[in-house]
Amino acid sequence: MRITVLRERRPGERRVAVVPELVPKLTEAGFEVAVEPDAGAELHASDDDYRAAGAYVGDDAIDNAKVVLSVQPPDLAHVRHLPEGTVTVSFLPTIQELPLVRILRDRKVTTFSMDLIPRTSRAQSMDALSSQALVAGYRCAIVAAERLPRFFPLFMTAAGTVRPASVLVLGAGVAGLQAIATAKRLGAMVEAYDVREASAEEIRSLGAKFVELPLEALGGTGGYAREMTEERAAKQRELLTPYVANADALITTAAVPGRPAPLLVTAAMVNGMKPGSVVVDLAAEQGSNVEGSKPGEELNVNGVTIWGGRNVPSQMPLPASRLYAQNVVNFLLLMLKEGNVEIDFDDDVIAGSCVTHAGEVRHHLTQDQLGEVG
Amino acid sequence: MRITVLRERRPGERRVAVVPELVPKLTEAGFEVAVEPDAGAELHASDDDYRAAGAYVGDDAIDNAKVVLSVQPPDLAHVRHLPEGTVTVSFLPTIQELPLVRILRDRKVTTFSMDLIPRTSRAQSMDALSSQALVAGYRCAIVAAERLPRFFPLFMTAAGTVRPASVLVLGAGVAGLQAIATAKRLGAMVEAYDVREASAEEIRSLGAKFVELPLEALGGTGGYAREMTEERAAKQRELLTPYVANADALITTAAVPGRPAPLLVTAAMVNGMKPGSVVVDLAAEQGSNVEGSKPGEELNVNGVTIWGGRNVPSQMPLPASRLYAQNVVNFLLLMLKEGNVEIDFDDDVIAGSCVTHAGEVRHHLTQDQLGEVG
């Protein structure tokens, strides 16, 4: 049976679903691995690297595929030709991809979304949202350090002492915690805030200062915050204003799944920052944590650099692909039994991450959305 | 008596000789400080910041100046109008500035070059070459981390381990040591090489691996290496080839004072690097340690990014100016006595850094150069 690795086709996507070094994990499970030409080009993994790892590489890689792997959702052009019973595994933010979900359902494809892997201990090694957030969080801190025209660390020199940079991180999920850890490594003074109660301890354990605001904490599930009322959000912005004004570098990473990112920092708050300061908004693609940030753009607003993230894990395609591939392979291994694919819906990881199967939409939220939209 | 701080006029120079916070050190010594408008613009130090610190700011700042301070050598246009006995303090690489030196001599200006501050313990707090090299070394490591499409640190995650980046630093003077320290901070595996015997211990004390080559060490003075024979240089390149090929990031910082930088890495050696690797050549302006690097340019050669440094301290104008200003003020304080300038040539720091005085060129090497060139 054949497992096919697609070449990514969406603009700006530089990752690949399986890196050469992980090909043997799938061949050892009794599968043929077929890879589209140039699939690993952006991370300098050549077709020969895949061949050396035991894969077939060819334009016809998708023919007779039982399992189709990709990072971004597979193209409509591909999906229209998939035979009944094919299995696809990729990121698939269903709310943004309803037309694709309908076709996958109608073609009786079995579709898994890596966005839906449950955040349980057992599924940790398959948690691609977390692994990609780790890459993004590291990248945010490095981007801030590179654009800030001053040192992150304290320097004590013969010519006197230069104080370290003040870095403020808003949102302390996986990406935010990694940004904190990286900025701390570089020697910055780091403060961080998150609406979730559990985050204070995590932030402090990295040696950063937790910003305590006189607001009640918000709960949340799976490491994400719940959405908050506009009244609380406004109060929060007001209380954060002096912290933002004090920061040399501001990194925002606040996301609410399935919703636009919360506006944490207004244009007026950015205006209150010192000229030469840097803002890195990881949430720019999801609607922005910072007013005025644009995905994939670097703006200068009154001397403040505002960097908007766009597919940030793809900016480090090698480690991002390496981790994603391991997540995907770990997930697949739940289903690969002696050269066959066996889908056991009693397994909560398999059941939880399945979007379509046998002509049905199995994910409840997506069912609702499909019902509403049409 | 007036001490004047010039606005820098050379393209790409973003520093300033005195930052506002150091103005009081000079006014307390009994001097008036006059600053040209917009002198601190590039580091967001406004004219009002200088005024608040006690300086006069105006287009006529240079009028009646007893001491003229700048980072780059003063402009010919300025120098032609300086009265006899004026004191200038700036960087002044005399070999490149012989026409300017001649005019400074003929106008009977007393000229000090911060390049010539002796590397003695007493003069450490005035050592501007070192303070600016510190800034440049930090910047080189951050530039490499930002351009390398993989992590500097080791990551141990639920989806497996990602190995740290291999960083190779060639040249371990102040800049090289700071690049090593910063790359280590970020968690990279760092190897380094320098021709000077003393460097092995310094490199190891930062936790990096010293690359031992079967070549005799070269002596040197003031932390700089002597020039070597072409035969030894060729052998060294040959021996370094496998280390360069293994590096994800290569940072070169080798300089020989008053000479072009040594060619450490040939185009063929760069060709042997993995695609996606990064080369940061701090010596690009001095003739390049790496064949093909261009000052101020970022090139892609067969998938390898080659970044050539150009006035690298100016890329961090705030800390660079802060440290330079402290160096200059410490130096000046040797001469500022009760509101007067007293130049004591029995002081080895003053004598060693003086280029022209009372119509004579006092710096021997510059005398020789002027003799040769005419």
pLDDT tens digits, one per residue of A45-94: 999 999 999 999 999 999 999 999 999 999 988 899 999 999 999 999 99
Q: Summarize pLDDT for B85-136 with one digit per residue, the tens.
A: 999 999 999 988 999 999 999 999 999 999 999 999 999 999 999 999 999 9
Q: Does pLDDT of B373 surpass 60?
A: no
Interchain pair A131, B157: CB under 8 A: yes
Q: Does pLDDT of B222 surpass 90?
A: no
| Bridging pattern class, strands B2-5 and B32-35 | parallel
How far out from the chain centre does Cα B244 lie? 25
Residues A129 and A253: beta-carbon distance below 8 Å: no
Q: Summarize pLDDT for B36-73 with one digit per residue, the tens.
A: 999 999 999 999 999 999 999 999 999 999 999 999 99
ipTM, 2 dp: 0.93
pLDDT at B374: 45
Give the pLDDT mean for B199-227.
Answer: 83
Q: Summarize pLDDT for A51-60 with one digit per residue, the tens.
A: 999 999 999 9
Minimal CA separation from A311 to chain B, in Å: 14
**Dist. CA B167–CA B59, nearest whole Å:** 48
Q: Measured at the alpha carbon of residue B142, what is the angle toward residues B141 and B144, in degrees to the nearest 5? A: 65
Interchain pair A145, B145: CB under 8 A: yes
- Is residue A70 flagged as an active site residue? no
Residues A19 and A322: beta-carbon distance below 8 Å: yes
pLDDT at A369: 87
Distant-in-sequence, close-in-space partners of A186: CB < 8 Å, separation ≥ 6? A141, A145, A152, A153, B182, B185, B186
User: Element (H or E) spanning B318, and its range?
Assistant: helix B317-332
**Dist. CA B267–CA B235, nearest whole Å:** 16
Report chain A's mean pLDDT, rounded to a whole number.
Answer: 94
Q: Which one-letter DSSP state was computed for residue B148?
A: S
Q: Does pLDDT of B24 surpass 90?
A: yes
Interchain pair A149, B303: CB under 8 A: no
Give the pLDDT mean for B162-169.
Answer: 97
Residues of chain A found within 8 Å of residue B138, distances taken between Cβ atoms:
151
**Dist. CA A6–CA A15, nearest whole Å:** 11
Q: Which residue has the higher pLDDT, B374 or B314?
A: B314
pLDDT at A174: 95
Query: Is residue A298 helix, strand or coil?
Result: strand
**Dist. CA B108–CA A233, nearest whole Å:** 67
**Phi-psi domain of B117 (left: phi exceeds 0; alpha: psi -120 through 50; beta: other):** beta
Of B145, B157, B318, the CB nearest to A150: B318
Residues A288 and A308: beta-carbon distance below 8 Å: yes
Of the candidates A50, A138, A193, A224, the residue annotated as catalytic is A224
Q: Which one-letter DSSP state was computed for residue A40?
A: T
- Is residue B124 flagged as an active site residue? yes
Q: Does pLDDT of B79 surpass 60?
A: yes
Interchain pair A127, B151: CB under 8 A: no
Q: Which one-letter DSSP state was computed for residue B66?
A: E
**Confidence class for position B225, pLDDT limits 50, 70, 90:** low
Q: How far is CA B90 from CA A8, B78, B115, B337, B339, in A?
A: 55, 13, 8, 20, 21
pLDDT at A77: 85
Q: Summarize pLDDT for B322-356 with one digit per residue, the tens.
A: 999 999 999 999 999 988 999 999 999 999 999 99
| Bridging pattern class, strands A336-337 and A304-308 | unpaired
Minimal CA separation from A232 to chain B, in Å: 35
Q: Please give the single-letter amino acid code of residue A181.
A: A
Q: Which two tokens stand for residue B184?
A: 């280590």
A215 backbone dihedrals φ, ψ, rounded to 5°: -135, 150
Distant-in-sequence, close-in-space partners of A324: CB < 8 Å, separation ≥ 6? A15, A17, A71, A114, A128, A131, A132, A313, B159
Residues B19 and B77: beta-carbon distance below 8 Å: no
Query: Is residue A41 helix, strand or coil?
Result: helix
| Bridging pattern class, strands A160-162 and A155-157 | antiparallel
Give the pLDDT mean for B16-40.
Answer: 97
pLDDT at A167: 98
Cα–Cα nearest to B96, from B285, B278, B235: B285
Residues B141 and B182: beta-carbon distance below 8 Å: yes
Q: Does pLDDT of B194 surpass 60?
A: yes
**Dist. CA A82–CA A99, nearest whole Å:** 16
Low-confidence ranges of chain A (pLDDT < 50): 374
- Is residue B224 flagged as an active site residue? yes
Minimal CA separation from B308 to chain A, in Å: 16
Give the pLDDT mean for B159-179.
Answer: 96
pLDDT at A139: 98
Residues of chain A found within 8 Å of residue B274, distances taken between Cβ atoms:
44
Report chain B's mean pLDDT, rounded to a whole number.
Answer: 94
Q: Which two tokens stand for residue A178?
A: 């990694």
Residue with tokens 């150069």: B369
Residues B36 and B5: beta-carbon distance below 8 Å: yes
pLDDT at B78: 86
Residues of chain B found within 8 Å of residue A49, distances taken between Cβ atoms:
none
Q: Please give the single-letter amino acid code of residue A247.
A: A
**Dist. CA A324–CA A331, nearest whole Å:** 11
How far out from the chain centre does Cα B301 lie? 27
pLDDT at A374: 45
The H helix count followed by the E strand count for chain B is: 12, 21
pLDDT at B23: 98
Q: Which two tokens stand for residue A25?
A: 């994990």
The two most distant CA atoms of chain A are separated, in Å, by: 72
User: By CA distance, what is A146's nearest residue in B?
Assistant: B142
Q: Which two tokens stand for residue A126?
A: 């398959």
Interchain pair A149, B182: CB under 8 A: no
Distant-in-sequence, close-in-space partners of A181: CB < 8 Å, separation ≥ 6? A137, A206
The structural domains of chain B, ordered by start, are: 2-126+317-367 (3.40.50.720), 134-315 (3.40.50.720)
Q: Which one-letter DSSP state was computed for residue B256?
A: -
pLDDT at B223: 59
Q: Which two tokens stand for residue B58?
A: 């105006």
pLDDT at B372: 58
Residues A232 and A209: beta-carbon distance below 8 Å: no
Tell me what percent of the residues of chain B surpass a pLDDT of 70. Answer: 97
**Dist. CA A172–CA A181, nearest whole Å:** 11
Residue with tokens 């609702």: A368
Q: Does pLDDT of B218 surpass 90?
A: no
Of A142, A155, A324, the CB nearest to B145: A142
**Confidence class for position B220, pLDDT limits 50, 70, 90:** low
Contact residues, chain B to chain A, C-beta under 8 Å? 43-44, 124-127, 130-131, 134-135, 138, 142-143, 145-146, 149-151, 153, 155, 157-160, 162, 182, 185-187, 274-276, 303, 315-319, 322-323, 326-327, 330
pLDDT at A218: 72
pLDDT at B142: 98
Q: What is the dihedral of CA A156, A157, A159, A165, to 10 degrees?
A: -40
